[in-house]
Amino acid sequence: MPTLALPLGLLLAHLPAASAQEVTPLDLGLLRNSEVSVVQKLAYSKEKRSEIGVTVGVMPFDVYTWAPMANGTFTLHRTETFGFEGSLGGGYGLKTGTYRELEGPAYGIAPEAYRFLGRAGLAVEWSPIYAKMNWKGSRIFHHDVYGVLGLNASLEQSVLPDGSLAVAPGVTAGVGARIFRGPHTAIRVELRDDVILEQRDLTSTMAVKQNVWVAAGLSWFSKGE
């Protein structure tokens, strides 16, 4: 028995090596990008969910007025990349240092400027980017980047003593990002431009005005399906 066991053990030890040597690797050749697809389940999905967002910001770029403001949004996300948004915002335009200097005793000129009071809009949202970022090697943040384009109307008031009001239609466009804090909340930052066509009473003219604003706030998502 010991005489048979030794050759049998040697044979068994040799078999795996022999089998491995007989395996021929499969060479797929060079793969093009179009032939490679990645299927990944997103950690924080937006598809078929609604989102309520609240941001606060400022319109700092007008020569004659600047305005602290707040804006609220309600978005229906049809897919991960496409959704419909309704928005409503308000604030109050204040005179800039340039305007106060012009209307002061040195110049005595009061330009016909209009201050921001409120806005409402409808837009489509496109979110082509979803990504993860590593913060100092210790935390992972999931975020997306989106753009919006739509129609809006702004309510404005003349800063001149007559205080005439103007309802100005226009278009709205912007970009933003969400940083997800969990499945139901996210931090959001935005840059938007409301381009409006405004009828000005004193000079009886039409003026194109850009209300560019930056804002940051929070979003809350529904549970979804």
Side chain identity at residue 120, one-letter code: A
Q: Tell me the pLDDT band of 5, cut-offs 50, 70 and 90.
A: low
pLDDT digits (tens, 9 = 90+) for 174-198: 999 999 999 999 999 999 999 999 9
For the chain, the residue count is 225
SS3 38: coil
Residues 6+ apart with CB under 8 A from 173: 147, 148, 149, 150, 192, 193, 195
Q: Does 3 or 210 have the greater pLDDT score? A: 210
What's the pLDDT score for residue 2? Answer: 52
Question: What is the token pair recorded at 184?
Answer: 């139901």
Cβ-based neighbours of 216, under 8 Å, separated by 6 or more: 55, 56, 57, 187, 188, 189, 190
Residues 202-211: pLDDT tens digits?
888 899 999 9
Task: Report whether pLDDT(122) > 90.
Answer: yes
**What pTM does this model have?**
0.79
18 — pLDDT class (breaks 50, 70, 90): very low
- The domain segmentation of the chain, as residue ranges, is 45-221
Residues 52-75: tens digit of each pLDDT: 999 999 999 999 999 999 999 999
CA–CA separation, 85 and 70 (whole Å): 16
Q: Does domain 45-221 have CATH number 2.40.160.20?
A: yes
When pLDDT is averaged across residues 37-66 and rounded to a whole number, the result is 90
Confidence of residue 11 (pLDDT cuts 50, 70, 90): very low
Report the pLDDT value the prediction gives residue 10, as an integer from 0 to 100.
52
Find all residues with CB under 8 Å of 178, minimum gap 6, and list them.
143, 144, 146, 186, 187, 188, 219
Greatest alpha-carbon span in the chain: 119
First to last CA, the chain: 69
Q: Is 154 helix (H, G, I), strand (E, B) or coil?
A: strand
The predicted pLDDT at position 37 comes to 62
